[in-house]
Amino acid sequence: MTGNHDERGVAGPVSVPLSALEHVDYCHRQAALIHLEATWTENLDTVRGDLVHHAVDLPAVRRRRGTTVIRSLPVSSRIHGLHGICDLVEFTNRTATLVEYKVGPYQPGGPADVQLAGQAACLAEAGFAVPVGYVYSATDRRRHQVVISEALLERMGQAAEAMRALLAQHALPPARNDTRCRRCSLRDDCLPELTHRSGTPTSDLFTPRRLGSWRD
């Protein structure tokens, strides 16, 4: 699937948002709802996330002791077909250190690492060395180091291809209806109990549901 062209007219892969890498690595149906159906619903976690990002959403440049710190930096990659914004990047000479802000506890090897790898690929294409990055967890109030390895970059590439495939299908994939659904803000839009891939829904559209069932 191609769509981007450089100054020579050479086609590259269709560009996908960096945020989509985390979404598709976490759940294909969630990624399709957000990026194909433009579906978004707020919950406590998403509001907390907005508050956490408030500190880095305003573009700014700061210099200290030989390091240039840039907030809300737009980046892109023609090779990998990516575009988006880095929360915070620290530049020392030709080395870049990424910091991605997340509201929840850090999960080693989780989807946030894939998004960070996408940002690293963009900066590497711009000529910077990006050996490591960090996921800042507002819950833990500290940075967690992520090594930008070849294996992680390969996983990122697979996530980008998966996202492009979803965009080309113009249809929602089935839900998985597992533990990931519990705190998903799109649960009521997704209806995983009815749309999961087994084809045997736990309820049907004509069965009344009990009122007052809280999910916390």
Q: What is the pLDDT of residues 46-87, one digit of tens each?
A: 555 555 555 566 788 999 889 999 999 999 999 999 999 999
Residues 75, 122 contacting (CB under 8 angstroms): yes
Residue 165: partners with Cβ closer than 8 Å, 6 or more residues away: 1
Residue 55: partners with Cβ closer than 8 Å, 6 or more residues away: 101
pLDDT tens across 159-190, in order? 999 999 999 987 788 888 887 787 787 877 77
pTM, rounded to two decimals: 0.78
Architecture of domain 2-192: Alpha-Beta Complex (3.90)
Q: Please, what sign has the CA dihedral across residues 200, 205, 206, 212? A: positive
**Residue 44 pLDDT more than 70?**
no
**Residue 1 pLDDT more than 80?**
no
Bridge pairing between strands 132-137 and 142-147? antiparallel
